[in-house]
Amino acid sequence: MKETWRWFGPHDPIPLNHIRQAGATGIVSALHHLYRGEAWPLDEVLKRKDAILAAGLEWSVVESIPVHYSIKLRTRACRQFIAAWKDTLATVTKAGMRVICYNFMPAVDWTRTDLQWLLPTTGFALRFDGVDFAAYDLFILHRENAEADYSEGQVRKAHERFKSMSEALRASLEHAILTGLPWAGVSYDREALRRLIAEYRGVTIGELRNNLIAFLREVVPVAQEVGVRIAIHPDDPPLPLFGIPRVVSTADDVRAIFAGCDMMENGLTFCVGSFGARADNDLLAMVREFAPRIHFAHLRQVMREAEGIFHEAEHLHGSSDMVGLIRALLEEETKRRRSGRADHEIPMRPDHGHLLADDGDKKSYPGYSYVGRLKGLAELRGVVQGLQYAMPELMSGGSKGVR
């Protein structure tokens, strides 16, 4: 597997030479200063690529080309933003990129209710608590008609939780939720969040899924033409938020996406943590079913504490069988090598590392501290090498059958 590391560009507090010291050889990046849906100019893409090459690394995955909300809602403005997305797709391919990760999460991207949840022995983690989230939605944001999206019991628990919070805790909760909003070089506040949510009022799960498939039917043929694979990232968390449906949360969702645009270039970013936040997702079965179209992997863990509550766990110890999942991905790589697929090596990266040691003294994006991801990558590397040692066919693609 190709070891990669997410880098947010020149303003990332973690420099490229530190990433190289971590042992990663590939970089996962995007032009975050051009994140409002406009086409990325080739000179800007090459500038980023040259900086990565100068550090002795390669730009392996583009994460993400943002999908403008007009595309998700299929409004009249979507035409210009789909055209820009296609242009960016072609541009990054000219610069040598072959894997594009993107998401189709409506209104908010990844969402947590605590950005520094204290663990017993291993630092601080990101955490999502559905009761805290409902308390924010109902009694801080005061979203219109929000009560309709919760049971009486959920509303009662949320009200009790809200009453128990100090003003400081309420402010911290709001900060955590706003941090996960789509990044476009702007700051968000409560009113901006209300406006974003209002854009999706009344949108059904069927409409959102149809809009995604319509988008894919336009961009995937371009991906095939220019020789690039696109890989959708699952919803994080994989459940409706603020009364808005989500359509990349389950195996059935992925089947619908693949059936709606049945081309190999239309693939999946398999995020263990995102899919693993739902107990009804059988991750090992999903990897085996979708393996040929898994173009990228986020090997992070969550620990499900109770229904609607989870936190980012250590990379090898959580609610999912990480070792079994890595073995299944290595088996897929072996099958690809034997069939002659040029994309036999699947890029992977550690994700949402804990805040460890002196990471707390540094300014880093939540979940993207250095030591936590360094530890995670080392653990994942050990699993890969251990499996390859025990099962040489997973490395050599030799004549032994895949077990």
DSSP calls for 54-110: HTT-EEEEEE-----HHHHHT-TTHHHHHHHHHHHHHHHHHTT--EEEEE--SS--S
Asked, for residue 392, whether it belongs to a domain, the answer is: yes
How many domains are there within the chain?
2
**Whether pLDDT at 363 is above 90:** no
Residue 187's pLDDT band, with cuts at 50, 70 and 90, is low
The catalytic site residues sit at: 233, 271, 298, 351-352, 368
CA separation for the pair 192, 301 (Å, rounded) = 31
Which of 179, 195, 220 terminates a domain? The answer is: 179
CA separation for the pair 332, 353 (Å, rounded) = 26
Burial of 369 (0-12, 13-18, 19+ CB in 10 A): buried
More confident call, 349 vs 402: 349
Q: Assess whether 224 and 267 both reside in one domain.
A: yes
Q: Assess whether 165 and 220 both reside in one domain.
A: no
The domain containing residue 382 runs over which residues?
2-111+206-396
Percentage with pLDDT > 70 across the chain: 97
Residue 393's pLDDT band, with cuts at 50, 70 and 90, is confident
Strands 347-349, 99-103: pairing kind: unpaired
> What's the confidence (pLDDT) of residue 396?
53
**Whether pLDDT at 302 is above 50:** yes
Which of 179, 196, 223 terminates a domain? The answer is: 179
Asked, for residue 191, whether it belongs to a domain, the answer is: no
SS (H, E, C) 8-56: CCCCCCCCHHHHHHHCCCEEEECCCCCCCCCCCCHHHHHHHHHHHHHCC
> What's the confidence (pLDDT) of residue 359?
87
Asked, for residue 90, whether it belongs to a domain, the answer is: yes
Asked, for residue 50, whether it belongs to a domain, the answer is: yes
Q: Assess whether 145 and 86 both reside in one domain.
A: no
Residue 16's pLDDT band, with cuts at 50, 70 and 90, is very high
**Whether pLDDT at 83 is above 80:** yes
191-238 residue pLDDT tens: 989 998 999 999 999 999 999 999 999 999 999 999 999 999 999 999
Residue type present at position 324: G
CA separation for the pair 73, 211 (Å, rounded) = 7
Q: Assess whether 162 and 87 both reside in one domain.
A: no
Q: Assess whether 280 and 304 both reside in one domain.
A: yes
Cα-Cα-Cα-Cα dihedral sign, residues 160, 163, 165, 170 = positive
> What's the confidence (pLDDT) of residue 113?
97
Q: What is the pTM of this model?
A: 0.95
As given in the structure block, the two tokens for residue 270 are 């398999």
Average pLDDT over residues 308-326: 96
Cβ–Cβ under 8 Å, residues 391 and 403: yes
Q: Assess whether 225 and 312 both reside in one domain.
A: yes
105-148 residue pLDDT tens: 999 989 999 999 999 877 999 999 999 999 999 999 999 999 99
Q: Assess whether 355 and 215 both reside in one domain.
A: yes
Q: Assess whether 161 and 270 both reside in one domain.
A: no
CA separation for the pair 377, 373 (Å, rounded) = 6
Q: Assess whether 247 and 292 both reside in one domain.
A: yes
As given in the structure block, the two tokens for residue 145 are 């008609």
CA separation for the pair 77, 219 (Å, rounded) = 16
Asked, for residue 186, whether it belongs to a domain, the answer is: no
Q: Assess whether 72 and 220 both reside in one domain.
A: yes
Q: Assess whether 220 and 271 both reside in one domain.
A: yes
Angular region, 49: left φ>0, alpha ψ -120 to 50, beta rest: alpha
> What's the confidence (pLDDT) of residue 398?
39
As given in the structure block, the two tokens for residue 36 are 């409002």
Average pLDDT over residues 47-72: 96
Asked, for residue 194, whether it belongs to a domain, the answer is: no
148-185 residue pLDDT tens: 999 999 999 999 999 999 999 999 999 999 987 765 44
> What's the confidence (pLDDT) of residue 401?
34
As given in the structure block, the two tokens for residue 119 are 């663990």
Q: What is the CATH number of the domain that holds 98?
A: 3.20.20.150
Q: Assess whether 22 and 90 both reside in one domain.
A: yes
> What's the confidence (pLDDT) of residue 182?
63
Asked, for residue 195, whether it belongs to a domain, the answer is: no
Asked, for residue 55, whether it belongs to a domain, the answer is: yes
